[in-house]
Structure formats: structure tokens, C-alpha cells
Structure 1
Amino acid sequence: MHHPSASLPSNMVDPGHLDKIDKLFACGVGDHIHLPQLVVVGDQSSGKSSVLEGITKLPFPRDSGLCTRFATQITFRRAQAISTTITIIPHKGATPAYAEKLCAFKVLTHAVLEPVSFSKTMKDVHKLLGLSDNPSDGDNKSTFSEDVLKIEVTGPEQEHFSVVDVPGIFRTATKGMTTLADASMIKAMVPRYMINPRSVMLVVIPANVDIATQEIITLAEEADLDGHPEVGVMQLIKGDRHPLQLGWCLVRNLGQQQSQDNAADRSAVENAFFRDCSPWNELDKERVGVDALRSRLQEVLTSNIRREFSNVKREVLMKLNSAKRALKELGEKRQTPDEQRRFTMDISSRFREMVSLALNSNYSGHKWFDECSTLMYVTGVVNCGEAFADAVDKHGHAYGFKFDYTPEVPGRSNLSSNGGQGLKLRSTPDHPDLEDLISGERLIDDKISTNIIEWLSGLYKSSRGFELGTFDKNLLGTTMKAQSAKWEPLAHGYILDIIHLAHVFITDLLKLVCPSARVRNGIMSVMMEPLMEIYRRALEQVQFVLYVEHNNPQTINHYFNDNLEKSRQKRLRASLEKHATTQPTQFGTTGRSVIALDDIVQNHPMSNAQHTVYEVHDILKAYYKVARKRFVDNVCMQAADYLLVTGPKNPLKLFSPQFVSSLNDDQLEEIAGEDAGTKRRRNAWAKEVKDMELGKKILVGVA
């Protein structure tokens, strides 16, 4: 069959616009937005390739084994040198390795494309795409591909023009050629080109079939309802029952025998047919023949491209901004250990800045303190410390000390220090992360016994020996341990409150500096073990302080002697007050109480045992006051303040850049590694940003 040089009539499409469109397709912009293009569609074996061959003057091979196996983009452009370049554009979902392999394919010839070389190239392309020549062979290869073959033809006589040919639609499988799965794939592929609102569809319908049986016409009419422009191409007129927006054109393809004749001139045969054969010579000349079809496409494409170019630029900018925002929302890329470390380091730096403000009570330093009260950590610690000291002072003793030394009332042994409601040990709710630390009751008995002398008497009688005027040295330790029995649950509850305040601070601050729940969970999973170690050290410190207080009562604090002497004086005064008289002053007012010396000498109100018991009481009372203050200070300063607030290894300072630097690659992957879904989204958005940036550069200067 004779093929004239592949040149097109002049002024087909504005060359600058077409060049930009071609570049937009090449850089992947067409994967994200609709671009103006001419798409040739039709049912399988509809003569679509012959029509395309007539328009493009390219010798499409007849031995490719099947009509079109993949979309083919054909571009013509004017240049000084004659060349034909064939490349492959990978489909949108191609893997990086597969895409790289396809992009490496390139066939360049400095001559007009010839049938033999074109046929060989097509076979190479089929092999590269992994297409099966015969599905019945069971090689599990695909018959069709989503990839796009790109053919670029240049020469001094060429005019800028571009067209896309897509596989033909078919309903039934052809044994040894196609399968029903192939039919489904093509039926899904072709509409994606047809729904492009900026494309012009060239719908090819054969003349020897009922138009109602052509599935492509139904798809075209559906697209037409949405305002998509189509040009219908038929080989015989079939009436106007199926009008398309841009109307119909009639062309005559070569017959089977003519197509095998290398000397056959398609244009000459077609022109003679529409000039000499009745009734075809009576039809409107602007609607018959490939030349008329090309002229019609010239008008449609030129108008369509000019109209859509500014819209394309606007959509490229919108898509670019949208993709950048989506990529920014994913945060920094974190697929390698270095990227993951930098990402985690940034979070830890922002975390540390907030910790510094919180520990210095600089709550005006950031708005988060106003939005999240749990970040006011120091305030919470101070309030808990005051509450703890008050609780130990009012409720920490098992027996009430005597202050007036009046005889105890029989049968009245207990009073409630908190109205009988029990004593609440905790002020913070339990955190699920700290279940292993939580033990014991949250409420203890608030009863305080009033019969301390009776109790001490029983202990003294059960432990006395041959001492005269003294008592067993171990008696004070026994009484002190019993008197301070509530210190342990009170201190344990207090330190658990501080631990919970610290842990809630950490988790709440992480939510603010790290919005990703997955990353937060990863950070906490790595931090929990060292955090629990810090918390346990604080609890152990409380137990240590308790052990010291209960093990061997002693003090060098002079307030002990001061308090003891005051208690002895009060007891002596109470025993002598019944002998005292009031001496009036010279002005007739009430004076000081006085007592006769003989009454002092003859005052023997107590037995030896009673005297010893009261002495034990006074010693216990004086020592308990000193020990209580010391115990509260030690628990607050050593267990709470040093280990949980201000110390160098407090829990708030754990998550730091130094901590991140110590993490191994597995830990970094657990914390900051992106899941498969995030990686896919990041790669997709990154590709779209890259494509749109290129598209933006290509469209510079477009109004």
C-alpha cells in the first residue's frame, strides 16, 4: 500500500499550544488534570486504525496480532530534521522499577517511519510491556496495557498536531486472542479518556453494522450529555438517529485487497469514490473524505485548545497548591533512619521547649498553657504538696495527743478526723498506662483514737522490765510506728498523684507537639520502660524514707527538747492548778495564779507507772511533731521534687534530643517509620507536586 510522507495540512493547530500540551502529557500532568486532546475511539475492528492512518499518514502495522493493545499518543511537530521518536509513558500506578524500565526505552530514527521498522518496534514494545501474543498459552501475561506508547514525528513539512488512539471496545472473548477479563479492562480504560471534558472524541463507526449494536456510540452519547465534543466518523450514512454534538463525517477506507496493495493510494481511491459514485457524490463535500475530516478537526481542536488553555493553567496552580498542602500535612519525609531521626528530633526539641517553660512556671510563654491546664505541672505539684502536708498533719496520727491532761472518758475511744467519710488518698484519676504502679485502696479509715493514755499504758505494761523511772528503749519505736501507720498510704497516694501529673503532662504535651497518633504511640512505647523506672524509683524513695523514720527514732533537732519541755511543763501545771490561787493586784484586777510551796512539795498525783506512761506520751508527742515535718519535707523534696520535677533525670526531661540520639534504627522505625498507606500517599502527593511544578514552568506566559 502506498504511503505518502507523513505530513499534515498547515495551520492544523497552534504549534506553541500543542507543544505545551505535549510537554504537559510527557511530564505527567495529564495523570492529574484533564488536558485538551483528540481521542480516537471505536469498537474493535471498526476500522479505527485505518481512519487514524488516513489522518496521520503513518503506516500502522497489519501484523501486530491485534488492533490496538494500548493507548498510542501520536504527535507531529515541525523541525528542520526528519525524525521519528518512539517512547513509552508509564501508567499512573506503575511501580518505580517498572516505570524506570519503560522510561529507558527509546527508538530514534532520522527517517520517515516505514511499515517494516514500525512493525518490529511494536513487537519490541509488546515484549517490554509483557504482553501476551496468545492468552491461551497460559503464560499469565496481559493482553492489554495501561501504559501509553508515544510516537513523535518531526520534519520540515510537518505541522503541529496530536492524537490519541485507544484500544477498541469488545464484548465477547476471541479464542486464542482475548479473554473476558481483557474486555472488562478495556471497558474500564476507554471511558477514562472519553470523560475528559477537554478532549474531542473521534468516534469511528463501521458502515457494515447496525449502529445500535456499537457500544462505543452509547458511551459517546452519554459523554455528549455532559457537553463533551465528539465528531462521528462512518463509512456509510446511517441516518441521524444518533446525532453527536459536532456532527458526522463520512470516509472511505481501503478494502481488504486494496490494503495489501503497496501501490494503492488511499487518498486517490477515496477522492474518486466521492466524486464519481452515486449517491455518495451528492453529499456535502465538507462532510466526506479524510481531508474534510482533517479540516473539521482543525477547527474543533484549535477552538478547543485556545478556550481551555487558561483553564488548564488555573487548574495546574490549584492542584499544585492542594498537593503541597496535602504533602505538608503528612509532615517531614521519614523513610530512612536519618529522616526518622531528624523528624523525631524536631518533635523532641519542641517538647523540651515546653518542658522548660512549664518547669519555670512561665505559663505566659505559650498559648498551650491557656488551652491545656494539665501543662501547669509545677502548680499541680505545689498544690498536691500542700494537700499532702495538711493530710499528714490532720489525719496522719492514729491516736490523738493530750493537751489538757484531763482524765480520759471511759467508752469514748474514737473520733472521725474527716466526718466519717473516710480519708481520700488520691486526687488524680488512674491512667491506663500506669496500672502496674497502682496498688492499695484509694480511701482509708479516718478514725483517730482518743484513748492514747490507755493505749500507752497497755504497751508499757506489756513491755516493762526492772526499769525504775524509765522504760524500754524499744517502746518509743513501737509507739511511733503505730502512731504514724497512716503515713505510708498517705505518702504513697501523694507520690502516685505526682507521677500521674507528670505522665498526663507528657501524654498531653505529646498530643500538641505531635498530631500523629501513630507517632505518639511509637514514642510512648519506647519511653514507657525508662519512664516506669523513674516512677518506681520515686515510689522506692518513699519506702526508703518510711523505713528510716520507722527503723530507729532519733533527732538532733533542738525543737524536740523544746517541745518535750513544754509538754512536761503543761503536765506539771495541770497537776498543780487545783492548788493555785489568784492574787489580786493593787488596782483590784485579776493577777497571776500562785501556789504555796508546801502544796508543790506534797503534790503526788500519779503512780510510778502513770508517771512513766505520761512521760512516754510527752516524748512521743514531741518527737512525732519533729518527725512529721521531717517526713513530709523528705518525701516532697527527695521523692517528688528531685526525682519527678527538678532533678536531672526527671520524667519530663526524658524525651530530649539526647534520648532520640540514643535510639537504634529499629526504635526509630517504630516511632517515626511511615506505614504503607502513608508512604503511598506521600509518594503520590510528591509525584503530583513534581508534575505540577513542571507543568507550571511549561505554562509560564499563558494568560
Structure 2
Amino acid sequence: MPNLDTSVSASEFESAMDISPPRSGSVECVEDGVGLSNPQLSHGRRQMLDLVNRLHSTGVQVDIDLPQIAVIGSQSAGKSSLIESISGITLPRAAGTCTRCPTECRLSRSEEAWKCIVLLRFITDNKGQPLGQARNEIFGTTIFNKAEVEDRIKRAQRAILNPNKPRKTFLEGDDEDVHDSELSFSNNSVTLQISGPDVADLSFCDLPGLIASVSSSRGNSSDISLVEGLVTSYIKKPSCIILLTVACETDFENQGAHRLAKQYDPEGKRTIGVLTKPDRIPVGEEANWLPFIRNEKEPLENNWYCVKQPSSNDIKQKITWSDARQREDEYFSMTAPWSDLDTMYQKYLRTSNLVERLSSILSDLISKRLPQIQDELEKTIFKAREALSALPKAPSSDPLNEIATLLHVFISDVFQHVEGVSDEDGLLQVIRPAQETFRRHVRSTAPKFHPFERKHGSSKKLTRPKFLANEEEHSEIESEPEDEDYQSDCWSGLSGARVLKKRKRAETDLIFIDDVYDRAHRARTRELPGNYPFVVQETFIAAIIKEWRYPAVVLCKTVHTLILEHCKMLVTKHFAFFGQGTLEQRVKAIVQKHVNECLQRAEERIDWLLKLEDRPFSLNIHYLTDYKYKFLAHYKGLRKKDQKAELMESIESYRPSTSQNTFSRAKTVEPQETGIAKVLSGLAEMGLPGIKPEDISKLLPADRMEHAVVIMADVRAYFQVAYKRFADNVPLAIDYELVRGIERDLLQTLYGRLGINGLEGQRICKELAQENPHIADRREDLQKKLERLQIASSELMHIGA
């Protein structure tokens, strides 16, 4: 027998059902319709049954709740016999055997000759883990002789219970003892696709019998919960009709199937009770079962039924279904107490009555559920499409072109962020605070000149230069050494984070005038008296410039860190959902290396700028001269105010007398001039009119520290010119080499280091485009789900066609 062990789809099921029987050989015929194949059923009912059967064929029952009949009961409760009566086929009935995996029957009425296709339906893998998509495999060739079905089912069940063995072993091998199976039970199922003129349009499932204990030689304790969980997965669905079989030969209380049915159908609205094996009731106990038929005990909305099926011995004797139904009718007509029941209860006896009622309930349920099924289908289709669209784009058939497109879009985005985006979290926006911190730090390196001698200078209180208020922010007006406390920018590591801390000024920060004077005298060589070498100013300037390296390097490192974080964010944005993440990781590594190279160039540029500042220089003569005279006046004024306090106070407080009118001058005597007024008047009499009060201080003797004051003014003025120049040039250099530098040549760098332009470009792109298996599986599951949902929806659209 050839092995057709292959996976098939729902559409292939339909094609397989069109196989024609061989020209030679016999086809077993049944003289009367069996079960729901009874031709007397109404056309409308048959149409409903045909529709739900087609829906089951699509596999959509895993997504929505479809009407179905599930036969449950304890082991050896007669379930299989009941299935035989409905389907017209013989199930494995060897002594000591029982159903150990679900057997699904998908019946379809056809004008063609009778045929059966056996399939294995796997919902778990060999390790028992759930599959994302159920797998159907054809098991053997199409059967055209009903006598072959029992053996094929037995072999199929053994194949299900031995998932690690080749299917061919069970198709072609000798019959083996069922006790040698790898599994004692399985929730994978055997599916029978049966069609013919005497077959009903129906789907139902024979489930493994519930067990209370397992033997030490076969099975384990987990089998109990496994079987119960399997049965529960069917009967918990609201559209499942529970066909509850109870064997009369065993006490009702000892059969757990009823407990489970009542748990999921407590009101008994979708449960049909079936009493089996009435001929095995112990003598004298027959009356104990009559209350069930009268629906007095454990009442059900659809009542209890009683059937009598052929025994194992009858099956061996090749009894026909017609004979079986005749013997059943004779039994209930001639055997007490069944024959003594009122006429109104006789309709609950015999298989034909059960099948008729079962058919009616199922077709009514289908009619009621159709609008709901349509609604559920549409909602489920919408959710499936939504979930599918949320997944990353499926891999392209041209990965080289797709990756090239991704790279170009990424570069365009990088360029846009480098140029600036209107977003508070934009690259330029997050860099700006670090630039401001750098400027403040450089600004804080201004020399702290103190125009007083060290021995008593630290006690002197100085005023801030008012002329700096026009150029600096209010919070950054220079604090001269007189201030006891001052604000300084303290940097945390290389992050660029600035914390303003108030600290006590150390006396070593102050540069007293006598220190400047002593240094100037020590530096003199061949200069004429009163002249000092420029090296003094250079020494002070060099000490200041030396302090600029640290904040410049910190700014560079900070911008580098911010750019790396921003670039990683952009890489994730553009490449996170491509392939298995390999492209994202490689692009990140390449971009990081590229940014590091930009950092190196920026640091070299900073070194170059610092070297430029090695020699004091400026062509901004006007600005430099202006500040020199301002600081010179400021320092001299502080010294004069300290040395000639009374005179300076008089000069500052002097206010010329206002002119008086002629009438007042005629009648009053002017007071005698004193103080500053007298001095100005005397100078005017000497022929020096127009002298201002503040000019009087110029008449004082020269300050011996005059040269030191000039040096201080020179250095302080040059700092104003140099620090502003440096505070601009460093951020500009970093912007050019590091910020704008990341976009420069980045595309060529990515192409080159990814290797996608070389001879191996196609292969590399194909490897990079390989999708994450989890996402690929998810997409495949959703696509299959959407396909079967759409097929099912299409089936519903053809109702009545």
C-alpha cells in the first residue's frame, strides 16, 4: 500500500474527495440510509448541516465557535457504537481496546460512490508543544470499501500514538500490540473524510473515554488530566452539543462524564443524554434507569435517550445495520420495563429517534448561530488583518534593492537631524545645553586680579565692573575677587552635566597686585627703568589658556555621547524590524566607528585651536584697546578710592550749586566756597577752566604700582577678546567635524563596510534580509488564519445558492 503521508490544505481536501473509484472491485452498499443520511430529512435542514460541514472543512473552528457534536463518556460506555450507528462505518472494536485519541468524522453527502479519506490532524508536535497552525496529513490511499476502514483507523490511531516513528511503518507493517505505543493518549486526532449518497452532511467527534485510574503497566497519572483537558477543550464551547453516553451496566454516580458535562452546561440546555447497554442492567435494577427517560432524574432540556447497539459478537457475525436496527426495535418493543413505558416516552428509545432529534437540534443551532458566526468572522478577520499589518514588512524578493533603499532613507533622516528638526529632543537641541556649559566654564577662567597688596588685600571689598553688564548675561557678570563667595561651573565627568555649586573662594585664586609687581620686576632684563618685558603678560595668558583644554575636551566627549545615542535611536527606527536584527547591529557598529573617527578629527581640531592660542594675538585692536582702558580705569579707581578715601568720596558726592535768580542774588549773600568747589574755582582763576571733579584725582602723585596695574589691564582685556573667540571656535569645530561630520561620507562608508556593492553583495543582502523565525511564523500563522477565515466567510455568502 503506497504511503501518501503529506500535508494538505482545506482546498486539497475537496480535490481529494473527487477521486473516482477504481473500475474493478466491489463497493459495499447499504440498503437503507444510515443515521442522518436518511433522505427523508428536509432540504433546509440538510442545507444547514452541509454548510457547517463546509465551515469545518476550512479549519475555521480553531478561530470561532462552530456548532459540533462531541460524544463523551467513560471508557467502554458505548460511544464508538453510537458513532458507528450515525456514520455507518465500523470502528476498531477489538476486545480490550478503547479510543485513545479523538476521531473526527466529517461526513458529506455526494452523488458519487462512497469513499473515505483518512487523515492525521496534528495540533501538537512530537514533544507535545502546541503548533501555531494545525497540520493535516493524508494517511494512505482513498478507501472505497467500508470493510477497510476499521483497519485503517486502527493503524492511524497507532501512528498518532507513536509520533516519532515513520508513518509508513504503520501503513505497511504488520499489526502491532497497541500497548507498545509511545503515548497512552494524545490530543492529536484521526480525521475521516467520508462522502457518498447514503452519508449525512455532518461533523462530530468521538473523544477518548474519561478514566478514573491508570494501571502500573500502562499509562501514568497525567493521562487522567490529559484526557479530561482534551474533552473539556471541546465541550466548553457554547456551540458544542454534548452527546453524553452513560452505560447502564455501571452505577450512574461512578461515571464522571456527567459531572464534566454539568460543569460546562449546568442547565442542561445543550446536553443530550444517551443510556447505552440496557441489556446489561443487573436483574431487578431496570426500574432505576426509567426516571432518566422520563426526565425526572438529572433532567435535560433535550431529554435522555436509550439505545441498544450490536455487541462485539454481533459485529463479528457481520450483522448489517438494517438487522441491527431491527433487533434494537424488537428489544425495546418486547423487553420490560422499556416496553411498558407510556407512548409519550417511547420516542426517547431507539437510535433512529436519537439521530432524528440530534439532527434537529444541530440544524436549529446552526440556523440560530449563523448571524453570530458571520459577525464573529468579520471581527476576527479585522483583528487578523490588523495584527498582520502590525508586523514588520515581509522580506523582499530583491533584498539588495530593499537594503539600498533603507540606507538612503536613513541617511536622509540623519541629514535632516544634523541640519536641525523642530523637536525639543532634536540633536541640536540636546547639544545646546552642553555648549552653554562650555562657554560658562571658559568664562569662569577669567583671571581674578586684586588691585591691592596681599597683606591686607583679601579684606578689601571690590565692586563689579559695570561695563561688563552690557556684554554678559546678568547671572554671569564677572565676580571680582572682593566677593567672598562666587558661582563656578562644576562638570560631572564627561557627560557635560553642569551643577552650579557655591564655594568659598580660595585665597590662591586671587592674584594680588604686589604679586604682579614682583613678577614684572623679576622678568626685567635690559629694559630701561620703568619698562617691563611682555613675557609677564604672556605668562598670565598662558596659564589661562591652559585651563581651556579640559572644558573643550569635555564638550567634545559630551557631544560625541549625545550623537551616538541619537544615531542609535535613528538606526533602531529604520532597521529594527528588518530581518533578524543583523542589519541593525551591523549598521550600529559601522555608525559607531564612523562617529568615533569624527570624534578623533574633532579632538585634533581642538588641539589645533589650543595651539593657535599659544601666542597672544588679535587684530581686534579697537575692542582690545577699549577694554584695556576700561579695566585700567577700573583698577586705578579702586586703588585711589582705597588710598584717598576722603578725597574720592568728596569727588563722588560733589554736586554743583544750582543757579539762583537775580532777585534772590540781590537780596542774599553767597556762602563762601569750600572743598571741591573751592578747588575747581581756584583752578579756574589760574586759567584752567573746565576742570571736572573727577579730574582732580589726576593731580595726585603717581602710584608706584602703576606698571602692575597696566599689566593687569592688558591681561584682563586680552582675556575678553580671546575667550569669546575660543568659546565660538571650539563649538564650531565640533559642529563641523563631529556633528555635521557624521553625515559626511556616511552612505559610502555603510556601503563599503557592509560589502553590499561587492561581488558577494547579493548573498550578503539575502543573509541580512532573513526574517526573525518568530515573526515569520507569526506572519504565516496570521496569513493562514486570514485565508481560512476568508474562505469561511465566502462559504457563508453562498447560503441558499
Deviates more, 1:518-527 or 1:65-74: 518-527
User: Does the Cα contact within 8 Å between 1:204 and 1:233 map onto a contact in 2?
Assistant: yes
Matches within 5 A, 1:235-634: 235=276, 236=278, 237-240=289-292, 241-263=297-319, 265-283=323-341, 284-332=345-393, 358-361=417-420, 363=422, 369=423, 373-375=424-426, 377-379=427-429, 381=431, 385=435, 388-389=438-439, 392-393=442-443, 395-400=444-449, 410-413=455-458, 416=479, 420-426=485-491, 447=505, 451=511, 453-468=513-528, 475-492=536-553, 494-495=555-556, 498-499=559-560, 502=563, 526=589, 529-530=592-593, 533=596, 536-537=599-600, 540-541=603-604, 543-545=606-608, 547-549=610-612, 552-555=614-617, 557-560=618-621, 563=624, 567=628, 590=690, 605=702, 616-617=711-712, 619-621=714-716, 623-634=718-729
Structure 2 unaligned spans of 5+:
1-27, 166-175, 279-288, 463-478, 641-646, 648-678
1:645 equivalent to 2:739? Answer: yes
Deviates more, 1:91-100 or 1:74-83: 91-100
User: Does the Cα contact within 8 Å between 1:352 and 1:656 map onto a contact in 2?
Assistant: no
Give the Cα–Cα distance (whole angstroms) in 1 for the partners of residues 488 and 769 of structure 2: 42
SS of corresponding position for 1:287: coil
SS of corresponding position for 2:38: coil
Q: 1:214 aligns with which of 242, 246, 255?
A: 255
1:102–1:311 CA distance, 2 compared to 1 (3 A)? closer
Deviation at 1:500, TM superposition (A): 5.9
Question: Which residue does 2:57 correspond to in 1?
Answer: 26
Give the Cα–Cα distance (whole angstroms) in 1 for the partners of residues 793 and 389 of structure 2: 19
Give the Cα–Cα distance (whole angstroms) in 2 for the partners of residues 422 and 521 of structure 1: 45
Give the Cα–Cα distance (whole angstroms) in 2 for the partners of residues 345 and 547 of structure 1: 43
1:126 equivalent to 2:131? Answer: no
Give the Cα–Cα distance (whole angstroms) in 1 for the partners of residues 359 and 349 of structure 2: 15
Aligned residue pairs total 660
Question: Which residue does 1:695 correspond to in 2?
Answer: 792
SS of corresponding position for 1:482: helix
Percentage of matched positions with identical amino acids: 18
Deviation at 1:307, TM superposition (A): 1.0
Give the Cα–Cα distance (whole angstroms) in 1 for the partners of residues 606 and 504 of structure 2: 22
Could you state the TM-score of these two structures normalised by the residue count of structure 1?
0.76
Q: Which amino acid aligns with 1:262?
A: K
User: Does the Cα contact within 8 Å between 1:345 and 1:657 map onto a contact in 2?
Assistant: no
Deviations 1:123-175 (A, max 9, x none): 145226516966865x7x11222222221222234332332111111112145
Deviation at 1:274, TM superposition (A): 1.9
Question: Which residue does 2:123 correspond to in 1?
Answer: 92
1:694–1:467 CA distance, 2 compared to 1 (3 A)? farther
Q: Which amino acid aligns with 2:788?
A: D
Q: 2:83 aligns with which of 52, 65, 70?
A: 52
User: Does the Cα contact within 8 Å between 1:384 and 1:494 map onto a contact in 2?
Assistant: yes
1:446–1:103 CA distance, 2 compared to 1 (3 A)? same
1:75–1:565 CA distance, 2 compared to 1 (3 A)? closer
Q: Considering only aligned residues, what root-mean-square deviation do their CA atoms show, in Å? A: 5.2
User: Does the Cα contact within 8 Å between 2:568 and 2:588 map onto a contact in 1?
Assistant: no
SS of corresponding position for 2:243: strand
Give the Cα–Cα distance (whole angstroms) in 1 for the partners of residues 432 and 131 of structure 2: 63
Give the Cα–Cα distance (whole angstroms) in 2 for the partners of residues 568 and 210 of structure 1: 118
User: Does the Cα contact within 8 Å between 1:423 and 1:446 map onto a contact in 2?
Assistant: no
Q: Which amino acid aligns with 1:315?
A: E
Q: Which amino acid aligns with 2:291?
A: G
User: Does the Cα contact within 8 Å between 2:71 and 2:79 map onto a contact in 1?
Assistant: yes
Deviations 1:464-487 (A, max 9, x none): 444557766755543212234543
Question: Which residue does 2:23 correspond to in 1?
Answer: none
Give the Cα–Cα distance (whole angstroms) in 2 for the partners of residues 166 and 484 of structure 1: 89
User: Does the Cα contact within 8 Å between 1:564 and 1:618 map onto a contact in 2?
Assistant: no
User: Does the Cα contact within 8 Å between 1:41 and 1:203 map onto a contact in 2?
Assistant: yes
Deviation at 1:380, TM superposition (A): 5.3
Deviation at 1:120, TM superposition (A): 3.7
Q: Which amino acid aligns with 1:261?
A: Q
Q: Which amino acid aligns with 2:371?
A: S
Q: 1:201 aligns with which of 220, 239, 242?
A: 242
Structure 1 unaligned spans of 5+:
364-368
SS of corresponding position for 1:151: strand
Question: Which residue does 2:651 correspond to in 1?
Answer: none
Give the Cα–Cα distance (whole angstroms) in 2 for the partners of residues 362 and 268 of structure 1: 89
Give the Cα–Cα distance (whole angstroms) in 2 for the partners of residues 532 and 53 of structure 1: 76
Q: Which amino acid aligns with 1:424?
A: D
Question: Which residue does 1:366 correspond to in 2?
Answer: none
Deviations 1:32-54 (A, max 9, x none): 22210111111111111112112
Give the Cα–Cα distance (whole angstroms) in 2 for the partners of residues 398 and 309 of structure 1: 90
Deviations 1:72-99 (A, max 9, x none): 2213222222142324353434489999
User: Does the Cα contact within 8 Å between 1:204 and 1:234 map onto a contact in 2?
Assistant: yes
User: Does the Cα contact within 8 Å between 2:71 and 2:207 map onto a contact in 1?
Assistant: yes
Question: Which residue does 1:148 correspond to in 2?
Answer: 189
Give the Cα–Cα distance (whole angstroms) in 2 for the partners of residues 656 and 354 of structure 1: 16
Q: Which amino acid aligns with 1:698?
A: E
1:510–1:627 CA distance, 2 compared to 1 (3 A)? same
Could you state the TM-score of these two structures normalised by the residue count of structure 2?
0.68
Give the Cα–Cα distance (whole angstroms) in 2 for the partners of residues 20 and 478 of structure 1: 100
Q: 1:77 aligns with which of 108, 111, 120?
A: 108
